[in-house]
Structure 1
Amino acid sequence: MKQQTASPEKEQQASITSENQMEHQPVVDDPSHKPGEKLKDKIALITGGGSGIGKAVAILFAKEGAKVVVNYNSGEEDAKDTEAIIKKYGGEVVLMQGDISKEEVCTELVEKTVQRYGRLDILVNNAGTQHHTESIEDIKTEDLIRTFQVNVFAMIWITRSAVPHMPKGGSIINTTSVTAYQGHGQLLDYSATKGAIVAFTRSLSASLAGKEIRVNGVAPGPIWTPLAMSSFDKESNKHHGEDTPLQRAGEPVEVAPSYLFLASKDASYMTGQVLHPNGGSIING
């Protein structure tokens, strides 16, 4: 995986918190998609569902019949846009703002979802954060702690709260990354969390097999999202994804079908697996 590099412009680029601030507007919806009711009447909770990949997943799930609860932290404008698109298609969506680096917020997300709908069929642990550093010496302890809190601790806290409310046939989908398999010299702690997510996914799948709850993951490659763009300078971002075999970055809408497949009955014989929408990079994982 080609390394993006920092420049003096990074400070300005790191201010990106919304899709509207991106020069390249991510594609999060496919108007030509013909729903097949694959998730009819399912209840889905998606963290980090306000923008990027989570936004595209929320929209696709709703179009396929799911009632969607979208958690987001910052980026209210993007979250409101997610809500508007889903409602445009006649879907049902509930926005829940909250910083999942806090255990009580994670518990509350699940409790409010269950209070409203009585159960939880699909959990998508998608929210994440990352901090660019030139070397391991530059990693700040506070950034390291927050990266693990958001990317790993929250995933475990939310899943722990959710499992008692999930029926047989339930699905948990965790977002890892191509960096878990290839590494990334400037995203050391982020890559470490994504490796932990792969291990957690495989372990949890074994733990929950007896309950007939499937646990899988998705490991996207370079995708057009505010998180990706906020970590590097403008010049690097212009070449985002060009080092993949397809020679371009992916759109969130191209990743969302992987989540739909894993959430639906189509993946009834899959657990402990990771899908790799990454532009063609072979990672043997």
Structure 2
Amino acid sequence: MKLIFIRAGSAILLSEFGERPVNIGDVVVRGANTLCGSEPEGSITVTTLYLDRDYVIDQVFWQHAALLSDRLDAQDFAGDLYSEPAQILHLGQDRAGMLMPWLDELVALSLDGPSPERFCRLQALLFAVLDVVRPYVRTTPKRRSPTQRRATHPGTPSLRKFAPLRAEARQAVELLRGAPDRRWTLQELAAAVHLSSSQLGRVFVDAYGKTPITYLMTLRAEHLARLLRETDIPIEQAMREVGWHSRGHAARMFCQAVGVTPILYRQLSR
């Protein structure tokens, strides 16, 4: 997940929550596999913290150890409690201002990569920041959005280890990135990397946290966004170039990924 702290300027964010303005003192919280674009209003300065999902689940477990039996229980608990894939937290300039020295020190300590000597200080700074931010994070009984349910299929903690990606997963990604406009099916992609469809699905989700077809949808949305920003070609032509031949389907997929329709995205990007 990401925590994006707005330090100066303002922007319009485009994500699953739709189109929202952000200003100094706001913090954007984004879950894993959540697309989010921005259109700065003049200029904007941010500091971004990246938190590993397993690390966050581990902290939830220890925070609620009296209620939870194990980390798998903590994973379900966190999924129920923090189900929104993206939020904007309005801390205010004064409260956010007290975080800036801690954020600056976190950045300075991270420049040279991981260091055992700095581990405790990094942990202390991170927890100090989270202690201020956490009360503003909304909880809700609602489950994840439809896009998140389709896009996110994390493997169990025991399977997601720090290990090289399977060659078949890397090859599948290269094929999708090399020809995102092709009408791929899971069966065709699996045959190309010499796996069964079910095997490729498991290998790919463990490697990238989403299914191959959802990964392809994300690629197409990113390519379409770039064409809408950087070219003047008609929207329908841009949709065909990225592999979507139905305008209605393309608009729905793009809106799910980015938060606004292609027409509005082009208007905002100009």
| TM band (smaller chain) | under 0.3
TM-score (norm 2): 0.24
TM-score (norm 1): 0.23
The answer to which structure has the higher helix fraction is 2
Larger radius of gyration between Structure 1 and Structure 2 = 2
The answer to which structure has the higher strand fraction is 2
| Bigger RCO of structures 1 and 2 (CA < 8 A, at least 6 apart) | 1
